Amino acid sequence: MIQRHLERVIDAKIESILETHILKEIVQGTVDSALSECCDKVLDECEMHKNEFSEHVDDSKTDVRITADDCMKEMEEQAQKHMDEIEEKAQQYMHRIEDQAAEAEMSAQKTGRNLQRWLETSAQSLPASKSRPSQGVLSTKGRRSSF
């Protein structure tokens, strides 16, 4: 009887140990498998998001380049427009200067003619004694060379 009881207890203990050990291995295998699947899924998701992010960054870089190119073109157009305006103003000022130079030249010629007439008139109105160099008064040429 004791022997039977011992056999049952031993059998129960062996069965309990085997069940616990086998159950532990099954649970561990299941957990390892689930963990591996989760890690794979997380890595796949990360890779997918990484690729999406890289595409988004590349698209944004392209947009920035396009915008920068557009800005550069607009600045070049504005600069050219201002250069053309400056060129046009310079031409206008050059024409004004040329016109003023012509006016100044004509005015100087007119003043010169008026002065020449005045000198001729003044010379004619001088008394004869003062206009003769032989009486001690130097001529215009003589006066200029004396300086």
**44 within a domain of the structure (yes/no):** yes
How many other CB atoms sit within 10 Å of the CB of residue 61? 10
Q: Check residues 132 and 44 and name the one with the higher pLDDT.
A: 44
Q: What mean pLDDT is predicted for residues 48-59?
A: 95
So what's the pLDDT on residue 146?
45
What's the rounded Cα separation, in Å, for the pair 122 and 76?
67
How far is residue 93's CA from residue 115's CA, in Å, rounded to a whole number? 32
pLDDT digits (tens, 9 = 90+) for 14-28: 888 777 777 788 888
Range of the domain at 101: 8-111
Domain-embedded: residue 12: yes
Residue-wise pLDDT for 119-134, tens only, equals 888 888 776 555 445 5
Residue whose tokens read 């060129």:
87
In a domain, 118, yes or no: no
